[in-house]
Structure 1
Amino acid sequence: MREIRQGRYVARLARGPGDVARAQALRAEAFLGTAGGCDADAHDAACLHLLVEEARGGRLVCCFRVLLLEDGAGIARSYSAQFYELSALAAFEGRMAEMGRFCIRPGLTDPDILRVAWAAMTRLVDEHGVAMLFGCSSFKGVETAPYLDAFAVLGARHLAPRRWWPRVKAPAVFRFAERLKRHKPDPRQAMRHMPPLLRTYLMMGGWVSDHAVIDRQMDTLHVFTGVEIGAIPAARARLLRALAG
């Protein structure tokens, strides 16, 4: 994938171990609150790593990794499969990509960072003929109370199609679709507490599991998230491809 330059930012693939180490350090800061640390696991070696840097100075502001799969038969190798029972998706016949460890440098709120990141992801999807994008979308912390409105909206409007239904596998989960059936959410509060990555998935017609995994190691609540590329609304697809160039 050739690099993408937009405004203040450049998106590109990692070029070697040094770039991967920079991404792992940013992940440690974003997810674990550890400056100078390293968030690494066995999945890193099988993934492409995308970096978004400031064009002037090269500071890393965002990163994520991508695992490419020829079809659903390989989904057991994904990071998500540790936490969700994904046997239904093993029947998916097209190419798949797992987007993981997405993070933006703490304290940065420029929406152009997310736009450039999605431009890079769009180009990667098109270049590799990906038919489904999936991953875990994380809410900060493991307390559910701040996110009840967001979870109620997910349960009411955005659950996965039954043919791809992710089932419970993790030992600690919050079954929000069942628990919040009678909860009347405040739409403004729901969107305020919806993670930016998840908001983008939903705007593309994405869907989620009916439960959130309580991941105390990463200090997050996360939901399995998927979107079939062919189901993305035409206007949204045109916008993403225009960003990708």
Structure 2
Amino acid sequence: MVPNFARDASTAWLNGWEAHVHAPFARLKQRTAEAGLPAFRPRGLLLPPGGAAPIRFKPRLKKPLAAPGLAPTLGRIGSLEVRLATTVSEIRRAQRLRYRVFYEEMSAVPSGLAMLSRRDIDDYDAVCDHLLVIDHAAVDATPFAAKPFRRPRPKVVGTYRLLRQDAADRHFGFYTAGEYDIAPVMAANPGARFLELGRSCVLKPYRTKRTVELLWAGIWAYVQHHRIDAMLGCASLEGTDPERLALPLSFLHHHARAAEGWCARALPERYVPMNRLAREAVDPKAALQALPPLIKGYLRVGATFGDGAVIDHQFGTTDVFVVLPVSAIAARYRDHFGPAANRQAA
């Protein structure tokens, strides 16, 4: 038989490639298994012998990034678009926005990982959906100057993190449960599908009515698609001195307290009374002016608030529990944020 030199050379190269790549990872896999550690998955670039082109291994995602059956783009006003994050890169951009707002603009204290990466990161990011507001008329300034050939990308200017109850039950539960006892609310509403809203932030120049409306339009489309019955979460007032926040906290306690069956109470070890001023001493107009725009937005659509505040020293805020049954949203807001609203105009 005539030898096939091309075939033999190819076989030899592949044998060398296997020795170069697979054998070391086989040994590493064996050691990690013996130590009881999670299986190792290579990430990044591996260089085969002989100067051949590198092979890139992409990290595996724990879950789909786009909700099945829900279009990523959920609305648009002018150059602003609201959409769901569909790639790991887009989630990282949301994390960088959160870092900029929470840690650079506000008084949150970053962990070592957050400080090194310049991103606000926690375990919930991997199991949540991420709502983005993107300005197509502005360019995202990447923090990596070493990537001069990257095409300019439109700027992420707002974000919300969305956690459905089924995902929470499969993983860590709701983030809110670290501050409030929400079990009685769940028990009082059996069969209801809950959605947790969290980690909301908007760049300062974009804190306008139309940006907030786009965020709510995106949330409403998501709520309808997943047939959500109620939304809950923690909303924040800036500052950690409840005495300085006595007026807005007392207003929420006297005028916007959740009804029985919806009123979660702060955990005993974190409970801070909200009833700091008598009802007759509260000036509603002044209190509304003292509330952050996000909480005023919640009030407008029909949200109510729980019993007790919680001081979050890491983020430099005082948190309150907010709950919004979908049935409590006024019809005029359903029409305003629903598909009848014209949000596609350029």
Q: 1:240 to 1:231 in 2, by over 3 A?
A: same
Picking from 163, 176, 179, the partner of 1:80 is 176
Residues 209 and 78 (structure 1), Cα distance of their counterparts in 2 relative to 1, 3 Å cut: same
The yes-or-no answer on 1:16 pairing with 2:87 is: yes
Distance 1:8 1:68 in 2: 29
Is the deviation greater in 165-174 or in 213-222?
165-174
AA of the residue aligned to 1:50: L
**Deviating runs (4+, > 6 A) in structure 1?**
71-76
- Counterpart in the other structure of 2:124: 43
Aligned to 1:199: 296
CA contact (8 A) 2:254 2:279 kept: no
Structure showing greater Rg? 2
Q: Deviations over 1:11-48 (max 9, x none)?
A: 11111111111111111111122797211111111100
Partner SS, residue 143 of structure 1: coil
Contact 1:69 1:75 in 2 (8 A): no
CA contact (8 A) 1:21 1:38 kept: yes
Does the 8 Å contact 2:99/2:118 carry over to 1? yes
Using CA pairs under 8 Å that are at least 6 residues apart, name the structure with larger relative contact order, 1 or 2.
1
- Aligned amino acid, residue 99 of structure 1: L
Map 1:163-182 to 2 at 5 A.
163-169=261-267, 171-177=269-275, 179-182=276-279
- Report if the CA contact (8 A) 1:71-1:94 is conserved: no
Q: Give 1:236 shift.
A: 2.0
Residue 76 of structure 2 corresponds to 5
Higher strand share: 1
Alpha-carbon distance in 1 for matches of 2:170, 2:268: 20
2:98 aligned to which of 19, 22, 27: 27
Confirm or deny: 8 A CA contact 2:127 2:167 kept in the other structure: no
Q: Deviations over 1:205-235 (max 9, x none)?
A: 2111121110001111110100100121212
Cα deviation, 1:150-194, whole Å, max 9, x if unaligned, reads: 1121111111112122122163442113x3335612223211121
Q: What is the one-letter code of the residue matched to 1:44?
A: D
Correspondence 1:55 to 2:165: no
CA gap of 1:107–1:90, structure 2 versus 1, over 3 A, is same
Q: Distance in 2 between matches of 1:17 and 1:72?
A: 20
Conserved 8 A contact 1:136-1:223: yes
Q: TM-score, normalised by structure 2?
A: 0.65
1:55 to 1:72, Cα distance in 2 relative to 1, 3 A: closer
1:139-154 alignment to 2 at 5 Å? Answer: 139-154=237-252
**1-structure distance, mates of 2:259, 2:168:** 16
Q: Which runs of 5+ in 2 are unaligned?
A: 1-69, 106-114, 139-153
Match of 1:119 in 2: 217
For residues 320 and 253 of structure 2, what CA distance do their matches in structure 1 show?
11
Work out which of the residue numbers 233, 255, 260 in structure 2 matches 1:157. 255
Q: CA deviation at 1:61?
A: 0.8
TM-score (norm 1): 0.91
